[in-house]
Chains A and B, each alone.
Chain A
């Protein structure tokens, strides 16, 4: 057995032990045992994935008796391994974090119960195994296991919080509808290609007709896209992510939505072997719309976890821009550029797992310490929760794609792929690329504003509520989770050069998009295939640090007697400074909200009470603002209304009269007789 095989087996065993521990262990030890074993399971998965990515052996195993009819087929290649890494990167810290977060003594979370604790390792295990599925039936079973276990985790807190139920309804409906699309896509594919295992489908894919291929692709895009949270299938994200326990949110947002991307890439460019130009273009458009829509809603969100959920839609959009551009380049015959674009997308998958996991865990710590997620009621947490504050700052800078952290590297790769499309361009590429660059740029700028808002109003300045004032730092297990992820963000940012070979192996799986080595390392410089551009994140960081210390040294040398005095905030001579004078998250985002008024269409309600004496004197002003998700409002609500109407109408059929029911049966019989004749 190869190292990868041992890793996957160990991951399964550890997950099984964790489930046993959840049920058998006493209440005091339960959470710690489950957290530790789940982390061990994810770590074993990480080892397996790294073994595959460093080329020391792949895994392929068939267990014909495990499932009736088809059997189970496990096959972990480099593409799947990238996603396993992304899962493990979040799962290890999230599991450790869960020890403190779900501890029985911390109030308000139903996360320490036996069933929830037993579901967590199952969820992590299914996340690890989905990319390792080697056949259609195995993938479907694991996929459904993942969907169901995540649903159970979302409803963990349903006793205390009624919002959870609505979120769970949305999530269940969307995920099951998605499953139907995936099921159809894969069944059609397997039927047309003549095989259940991926290897057989690859061999038979060339024989599938163009229409069947397109049907499979579109169904897969819808099904996997609903899991990835792309617009307009994103509606469950901003509901389910905020309501789930935070370490589960981190797993869902950092790991699970990426498996939607995995499905699209796997079906489109591995199993089907690529397609016409409109595939790439469709994904590009979906990605661009998701990126912009997601970040605009994240910008105006004041619920910290809702903000993060919308930002997940944005990041999945960026990933899909990379995938779509790669498809477009490949169909236009520029494989070198396609490989760079898809490498950027894969790198962003791992990067986003790291920083979004970190941010959700940070948001969980805030929730844990203050009991609120509302940015307008937070503030001053950086002084009260130093570790959470510092790690959240790292996550915020990373997700805003700022150097020298990891988000910057993948954004840079993506931009390079997009701007170097010219020499080979067709009209379509030539039109699409400037637009794509503009959208990536605008998204990047808005993301910076969004996370300045999130960190600046959540963690800086004065607390805006007594709860925030009384905040305390989280227990050590939660801090370990945060620090681990912050370390990953920094490490991936400083040494992306180490990822050149693994990314090359992963891209090589996608035949039509692969071409040589997209990302190379020249010492500490990052070099790209076919593109004359270099970047050295490590040296940038060294330069920054050197400049900081040099500045410090100069300031020290120049100042004869360095004095520092704390004083009340000046504020242009205000005598009193209260938290009510501060800018809130809402007011921070207001200018940008006005700029994008046409897209966001906020509902504003300004109510001015005048004094009775004269209408020139204002007694009070009430201002209320709400921003509805336009997609939800315009697209889903009519459908839901129609469904409800149909339900009400159908209810008239059932009025309790037994005679009427008998009459129905008779009518049905008559109709059946007439039809069948």
Chain B
């Protein structure tokens, strides 16, 4: 692990922390424009976080240490995840401490803590949100891991930089069926894991339909700000994964500062494009019933499964 690599990892983490709320702001704005509204400025998520940071922290009387710890763990898992994902360079210093599996389980750790925090205050809504969140997380897991399987078959390793480097070396693999199927599978899972339509409606506060919002109902002030920031970061982690695993061009292969700067521009552009695509997609779809979500995830699982099969047999 080199110092430069570590510095690059810190840089990309800082970049993601700063950029993530803007990405969410952009998605909200795009959606608002498409629906014929003026839309909030891109800085709105950051303003919300700043406002909440200054507010009082109210803790339910029945809650335990889990409630206090969960936002911190959630942010920490998102931070470590951004350190592992090659946003800027394939030479990130944190690459060898964890691979794609470690990344997935790290994010699951955050999900588990949030679900526990949802149960902690003892409200019906919190429990409902936790229960649904864990249902979706559990059913999404096979898709994610099998998609990783497909990707690591092509690259011969499950380490992220190895996959990205392999794609850079053999650009034609991007258009192969296995990669495209894996992309489609991971795209569906991204929507499920980040609580987007058609799985969860990020803008609803209608009690009976919400999932993510139901879990964090009791959070206020800085805790809420942390939870929101972590959610934004997780979204960007998934978008960054999708863009750099499948369209890695623009990523730096050294840790030279100028290259990192160029890579930062490239990755921001890719994430913005993906965000706009998702926001546009959300305008046209409705939320599916909770018990249709497993169907959706089964479909994405089959895509991932076919990706593995294709990489086994077509190679």
**A439-464: contact bitstring with B at CB < 8 Å (1 yes, 0 no)?**
11110111011001101110111100
Q: A412-B101, A577-B122, A588-B131 are in contact. Are A448 and B137 (CB under 8 A)?
A: yes
Chain A 365-385 interface residues, beta-carbon cutoff 8 Å to B: 379-380, 382-383
Residues A572 and B142 in contact, CB atoms below 8 Å apart = no
Q: A434-B309, A460-B116, A547-B80 are in contact. Are A571 and B217 (CB under 8 A)?
A: yes
Q: How many residues of B contact A (CB 8 A)?
A: 84
Give the segment of B36-44, B71-79, B247-255, B260-268 that binds chain A: B71-79
Tell me the bound Cα distance from A390 to B305 in angstroms.
Answer: 39
**A583 sits at the interface (CB 8 A):** yes
Chain A 292-310 interface residues, beta-carbon cutoff 8 Å to B: none
Q: List B contacts of A433 (CB < 8 A).
A: 149
Tell me the bound Cα distance from A460 to B66 in angstroms.
Answer: 8
Can you give 26 contacting A-B residue pairs, CB < 8 Å? A380-B122, A382-B66, A383-B64, A401-B105, A444-B141, A445-B142, A448-B111, A460-B122, A532-B162, A535-B97, A536-B97, A540-B80, A543-B94, A547-B75, A555-B222, A558-B53, A564-B58, A565-B56, A565-B57, A568-B60, A569-B122, A571-B123, A582-B122, A583-B119, A583-B126, A595-B291
Q: List A contacts of B145 (CB < 8 A).
A: 415, 437-438, 440-441, 444
Chain B 134-188 interface residues, beta-carbon cutoff 8 Å to A: 134-135, 137-142, 144-146, 148-149, 152-153, 156-159, 162
**B48 sits at the interface (CB 8 A):** no
Q: List B contacts of A418 (CB < 8 A).
A: 149
9 extra interchain contacts, Cβ-Cβ under 8 A, other than A403-B109, A425-B312, A544-B76? A397-B109, A449-B135, A525-B96, A559-B54, A565-B57, A569-B61, A571-B124, A577-B123, A592-B138
**A237 sits at the interface (CB 8 A):** no
Chain A 550-604 interface residues, beta-carbon cutoff 8 Å to B: 550-552, 555, 558-560, 562-572, 574, 577, 579, 581-583, 587-592, 594-595
**A240 sits at the interface (CB 8 A):** no
**B125 sits at the interface (CB 8 A):** yes
A462–chain B nearest beta-carbon distance, Å: 4
Residues A560 and B54 in contact, CB atoms below 8 Å apart = yes
**A3-32: contact bitstring with B at CB < 8 Å (1 yes, 0 no)?**
000000000000000000000000000000
The 5 closest A-B pairs by CB, nearest first: A583-B127, A445-B141, A461-B122, A445-B138, A547-B76
Choose one: A400, A420, A437, A452; the contact of B146 (CB below 8 Å).
A437
Chain B 87-120 interface residues, beta-carbon cutoff 8 Å to A: 94, 96-99, 101-102, 105-106, 108-109, 111-112, 115-116, 119-120
Residues A461 and B139 in contact, CB atoms below 8 Å apart = no
Chain A positions near chain B (C-beta within 8 angstroms): 379-380, 382-383, 389-390, 393, 397, 400-403, 408, 411-412, 415-416, 418-420, 422-423, 425, 430, 433-434, 437-442, 444-446, 448-449, 452-453, 455-457, 459-462, 525, 531-536, 539-540, 543-545, 547-548, 550-552, 555, 558-560, 562-572, 574, 577, 579, 581-583, 587-592, 594-595
Q: List B contacts of A570 (CB < 8 A).
A: 58, 60, 121, 123, 217-218
Q: Give the residue name and chain of the B residue nearest to A574 (CB).
A: B123
Q: Which of B83, B116, B144 gathers the greatest number of chain A CB atoms within 10 Å?
A: B116
Residues A402 and B61 in contact, CB atoms below 8 Å apart = no
Q: A434-B149, A583-B124, A591-B132 are in contact. Are A564 and B80 (CB under 8 A)?
A: no
Tell me the bound Cα distance from A434 to B56 in angstroms.
Answer: 50
B207–chain A nearest beta-carbon distance, Å: 6
Tell me the bound Cα distance from A439 to B149 in angstroms.
Answer: 13
**B237 sits at the interface (CB 8 A):** no
B128–chain A nearest beta-carbon distance, Å: 6
Q: Which of B63, B131, B132 gathers the greatest number of chain A CB atoms within 10 Å?
A: B131
Chain B positions near chain A (C-beta within 8 angstroms): 53-54, 56-66, 72-73, 75-77, 79-80, 83, 94, 96-99, 101-102, 105-106, 108-109, 111-112, 115-116, 119-128, 130-132, 134-135, 137-142, 144-146, 148-149, 152-153, 156-159, 162, 207, 217-218, 222, 226, 290-291, 294, 301, 305, 308-309, 311-313
Residues A564 and B59 in contact, CB atoms below 8 Å apart = yes
Residues A587 and B102 in contact, CB atoms below 8 Å apart = no
Residues A543 and B80 in contact, CB atoms below 8 Å apart = yes
Q: Give the residue name and chain of the A residue nearest to B313 (CB).
A: A430
Q: List A contacts of B137 (CB < 8 A).
A: 445, 448-449
Residues A543 and B83 in contact, CB atoms below 8 Å apart = yes
Tell me the bound Cα distance from A587 to B153 in angstroms.
Answer: 40
Q: Which of A416, A565, A574, A591 gathers the greatest number of chain B CB atoms within 10 Å?
A: A591
B212–chain A nearest beta-carbon distance, Å: 15
Residues A559 and B222 in contact, CB atoms below 8 Å apart = yes
Q: List B contacts of A571 (CB < 8 A).
A: 121, 123-125, 217-218
Residues B56 and A461 in contact, CB atoms below 8 Å apart = no
Q: Which of B132, B142, B309 gathers the greatest number of chain A CB atoms within 10 Å?
A: B142
Q: List B contacts of A567 (CB < 8 A).
A: 58-61
Tell me the bound Cα distance from A383 to B68 in angstroms.
Answer: 13
Choose one: B72, B101, B146; the contact of A434 (CB below 8 Å).
B146
Q: Give the residue name and chain of the A residue nearest to B76 (CB).
A: A547
Tell me the bound Cα distance from A438 to B99 in angstroms.
Answer: 18
Residues A551 and B226 in contact, CB atoms below 8 Å apart = yes
Residues B301 and A438 in contact, CB atoms below 8 Å apart = yes
Tell me the bound Cα distance from A397 to B96 in angstroms.
Answer: 23
